[in-house]
Amino acid sequence: MNRKQKRLIVGLVRFLILTLFLLAVLAPLYWLLVTSFKTSGEINSLQVTYWPQQVTLENYQKLFQVTNFGTYMKNSLIVTFSSSLLVLAFSLCGGYALARYQFRGKKAVLIAFLVSQMIPTILLFIPMFLIFGKLNLINTLQSLVILYTVFNTPFCLITLRGFFERIPVSLEEAALVDGCNKLQAMTKIIMPVLFPGIVATFVFAFTGAWNELLAGIMFINSNSLKTIPVAINAFIGKYSIDWGQMSAACIIALIPTTIFFAVVQRYIVQGLTQGAVKE
Amino acid sequence: MAKISLQHIYKTYSGNVTAVHDFNLEIQDKEFVILVGPSGCGKSTTLRMIAGLEEITSGELYIGDRLVNDVAPKDRDIAMVFQNYALYPHMSVYKNMAFGLKLRKVSKEEIDQKVREAAKILDIEHLLDRKPKALSGGQRQRVALGRAMVRNPAVFLLDEPLSNLDAKLRTAMRSEIAKLHKRLGTTFVYVTHDQTEAMTMADRIVVMKDGYIQQVDTPQNLYDRPCNLFVAGFIGSPQMNFVDAVIERGEKGYAARLGESVIEIPSQRAPDLEHYLGQTCVLGIRPEDLYVGALPPNIGSAQPLEMEVTLAELMGSEVYLYLKRGEANLVARTPARAAARDGDHVPVFLDSNKLHLFDKNTQMAILH
């Protein structure tokens, strides 16, 4: 076997493994998509069909006509965007402080953030529920915004601290000497350089909030305040599950995140400070 | 264009670590001053205090006639070149250079003119549209210089700007920076740990150690008349030789005894050494003031030292001979032709007119 053949075989094996992996990831999505276009009769029949016998938009129609899916989507968008922006604001300030300043108890703060990640969030729901009850926050979207912000901030803050630490201090100092005040150095130099880090953190906070179900179920009672995961969960009835509508809802829930990822993915893979300093 | 005056400047970090002690210096307008010293001597801290990036613990700092202790870096009319260049990675070379002017609301036409002028001087005109990541180390250094130049600042601060460049490029940039200084006619304050850079470029050198100024003088004076052992050893390469010697009464004044050999100290040079009679001092002699083999005419000293050559280092035009005799180790710089070989025993003459003597306790110079 010569080298050319060897390389061909290695390539083929690599292709096969990746294809299998991709199939494993995409198969459930395909099934979701196909199911959303099937009639309920076809879904519930014992015969497995890999393509809808009769393509129908009935599930999508019902989703918006029978349920308040538009409202759920609006709720989810409000909660997700507000909490992600808050997470970002806190993480930027805190991450910067932890990366750049020396202060008493800095290590303790870091450890506290890390430890908080080890506690199962569900344990926190009970005290949170009591506190929110006293504050009259139960069954409001604000409660979810606060919860998601609190849950996602520690991880994002530590991540952003790492990004800040990779930006040399001299870059900031150069900006200060060049004529910036502290805030300008931040907005004109550090933020643009940090952009990939900001995007990565935002994506994390966004998906975390967008997909969250448990807090949504616990803290929201009224139908008009449900978020998408809660609404999808509601398709599981006592006696039956509406697979068609559920699939349609899932597909629609995927659209914003997919668009979002498509837009930002190129920043995530980008290097941070290429060429800024001599490494 | 401005002079800088540092008066009783101290820098103390929390935890009572004092990085700079009582720093006093007047830097004249258009002067090229280099702060030099080993790492941790406080030279960078001093520069950063001038820049305003480091707070001054006590003392007064004037740029021009203005007290600037509490003035923000952006209002000090300074520009700084950093060791690691610190170029803005998301901006093109042009924008990097224009950034400072843009912040100062200079008109577009003027910015363009200034950037292109600086780029022309630095020979980076063809790079203006590139991002820093597409530049070589030397090109990045030029951009960093350009960014400082366009603002036409009163003071140029340079923090080890050449230490990240390779040896060849460093030598080239050294002369370019010296030329740039002449051309711009601006006050330059430059920090380096490399005494060669200091010697070749500076109008005046400030030698620092452990946060204290050791000596401030012109390169030539620093070389010829170092005020203490540290400066004598730091300036010059290979460094000055030091051997212990006992001061005795000589034929026409005083003499220094190294083992069995006695070196007469020319009477016109010797200060009053009465106080040191019988005591051990440190005798310093530069490698080029040692003569191996024969003594040229008109050079002082008589009695040669018999020494063994342990290593001969060929530098091209000259040879460094590492000589040994008992405890004493000397390095001599000799013409390549006269080279001795390893293991040779050779007579070594000291030019007694070029002797330095240092007090062993205080380390201060007694005789230059």
For residues A166 and A49, is the Cβ–Cβ distance under 8 A?
no
Inter-chain CB proximity A179 and B131 less than 8 Å: no
pLDDT of residue B58: 94
Contacts of B157 in chain A (CB under 8 A): 177
Task: Report how far apart, in Å, the C-alpha atoms of A113 and of each of A119, A143, A155, A173, B273 are.
Answer: 11, 21, 7, 29, 69
Residue B301 reports pLDDT greater than 70: no
Contacts of B114 in chain A (CB under 8 A): none
List the single residue in B80, B86, B151 with the smallest CB-CB distance to A171.
Answer: B86
> To the nearest whole percent, how much of chain A has pLDDT over 90?
55
Residues on chain B bordering chain A, Cβ-to-Cβ distance under 8 angstroms: 51-53, 72-74, 78-80, 82-90, 99-100, 103-104, 131-135, 137, 140, 147, 151, 157, 164
Residue B299 reports pLDDT greater than 80: no
List the single residue in A180, A274, A276 with the smallest CB-CB distance to B74.
Answer: A180
**Mean pLDDT for the stretch of residues A7-30:** 94
Closest CA to B148 of B108, B193, B107, B190: B190
Res. B353 pLDDT band, cuts 50 70 90: confident
List the single residue in A173, A178, A189 with the smallest CB-CB distance to B53.
Answer: A173
Cα B67 off chain centre by: 28
Task: Point out the least confidently predicted range of A60-74, B263-277, B315-329.
Answer: B263-277
pLDDT of residue B1: 60
> To the nearest whole percent, how much of chain B has pLDDT over 90?
60
Closest CA to B177 of B189, B167, B166: B189
pLDDT of residue A157: 93
Inter-chain CB proximity B86 and A168 less than 8 Å: yes
Residues β-bridged to residue B209: B212
Task: Report how far apart, in Å, the C-alpha atoms of A221 and of each of A9, A230, B304 are.
Answer: 58, 10, 104
pLDDT of residue A279: 46
Beta strands (DSSP E) in B4-117 are: 4-13, 17-27, 32-36, 58-63, 66-67, 78-81
pLDDT of residue A272: 53
- Using CA atoms, how far apart are residues B133 and B135, in angstroms rounded to an integer? 6
Residue A106 reports pLDDT greater than 50: yes
- Using CA atoms, how far apart are residues B180 and B170, in angstroms rounded to an integer? 15
Neighbours of B277 (CB within 10 A): 11
Q: What is the pLDDT of residues A152-189, one digit of tens each?
A: 999 999 989 988 998 899 999 999 999 999 999 999 99
- Using CA atoms, how far apart are residues B16 and A59, in angstroms rounded to an integer? 73
Task: Point out the least confidently predicted range of A174-188, B12-26, B114-128, B246-260.
Answer: B246-260
Distance from CA of A180 to the nearest CA of B (A): 6
For residues B162 and B174, is the Cβ–Cβ distance under 8 A?
yes
List the single residue in B74, B78, B79 with the smallest CB-CB distance to A181.
Answer: B74
Tokens of B154: 């009163």
Q: What is the pLDDT of residues B8-50, one digit of tens each?
A: 999 998 878 899 999 999 999 999 999 999 998 999 999 999 9
pLDDT of residue B298: 65
Inter-chain CB proximity B79 and A175 less than 8 Å: no
Vertex A49: Cα angle to A45 and A51 (nearest 5): 130
**Mean pLDDT for the stretch of residues A235-263:** 87
**Mean pLDDT for the stretch of residues A131-144:** 94
Closest CA to B41 of B62, B24, B20: B20
Task: Point out the least confidently predicted range of A182-196, B170-184, B205-219, B267-281.
Answer: B267-281
List the single residue in A179, A272, A278 with the smallest CB-CB distance to B74.
Answer: A179
Inter-chain CB proximity A189 and B88 less than 8 Å: yes
Distance from CA of B200 to the nearest CA of A (A): 25
Res. B291 pLDDT band, cuts 50 70 90: confident
What global pTM score does this model have? 0.82
Inter-chain CB proximity B80 and A192 less than 8 Å: no
Residues on chain A bordering chain B, Cβ-to-Cβ distance under 8 angstroms: 168, 170-171, 173-181, 184, 188-189, 192-193, 195, 272-278
Inter-chain CB proximity A177 and B164 less than 8 Å: no
- Using CA atoms, how far apart are residues B193 and A217, in angstroms rounded to an integer? 65
**Mean pLDDT for the stretch of residues B101-125:** 92
Q: In chain B, whose CA is at the least distance from the CA of A270?
A: B90
pLDDT of residue B338: 65
Element (H, E) at B197: helix B195-201
pLDDT of residue A3: 86
pLDDT of residue B240: 94
Tokens of A85: 């922006």
pLDDT of residue B220: 95
Inter-chain CB proximity B72 and A180 less than 8 Å: no
Closest CA to B253 of B317, B300, B308: B300
**Mean pLDDT for the stretch of residues B242-254:** 86
**Mean pLDDT for the stretch of residues B222-240:** 93
Q: What are the backbone angles phi and psi of residue A225, rounded to the nearest 5°?
A: -110, 5
Residue A271 reports pLDDT greater than 60: no
Selected for mutation to probe chain A from B76, B90, B139, B163 (highest A CB count within 10 Å) is: B90
Inter-chain CB proximity B74 and A273 less than 8 Å: no
Helices (H), chain A: 3-36, 40-44, 58-65, 69-100, 106-116, 121-134, 141-165, 169-178, 182-184, 191-210, 214-219, 228-233, 243-268
Task: Point out the least confidently predicted range of A148-157, B294-303, B323-332.
Answer: B294-303
Task: Point out the least confidently predicted range of A83-87, A147-151, B20-24, B170-174.
Answer: B170-174
Contacts of B89 in chain A (CB under 8 A): 193, 272-276
Residue B75 reports pLDDT greater than 70: yes
Placement of tokens 């340079």 in the chain? B158
Inter-chain CB proximity B100 and A179 less than 8 Å: yes
Q: In chain B, whose CA is at the least distance from the CA of A174?
A: B86
Distance from CA of A105 to the nearest CA of B (A): 16
pLDDT of residue B354: 87
pLDDT of residue B339: 63
pLDDT of residue B68: 94
Residue B131 reports pLDDT greater than 50: yes
**Mean pLDDT for the stretch of residues B80-89:** 92
Distance from CA of A190 to the nearest CA of B (A): 9
Residue B161 reports pLDDT greater than 50: yes
Residue A274 reports pLDDT greater than 60: no
Q: HSE-up of A211 (CA within 13 Å, CB side)?
A: 10
> To the nearest whole percent, how much of chain B has pLDDT over 70?
97
- Using CA atoms, how far apart are residues B74 and B210, in angstroms rounded to an integer? 29
Residue B296 reports pLDDT greater than 80: no
pLDDT of residue B302: 59
Q: What is the pLDDT of residues A198-245, one digit of tens each?
A: 988 898 899 899 999 999 999 998 989 999 999 999 888 878 888 888
List the single residue in A178, A181, A278 with the smallest CB-CB distance to B85.
Answer: A278
Inter-chain CB proximity A277 and B88 less than 8 Å: no
Inter-chain CB proximity B73 and A177 less than 8 Å: yes
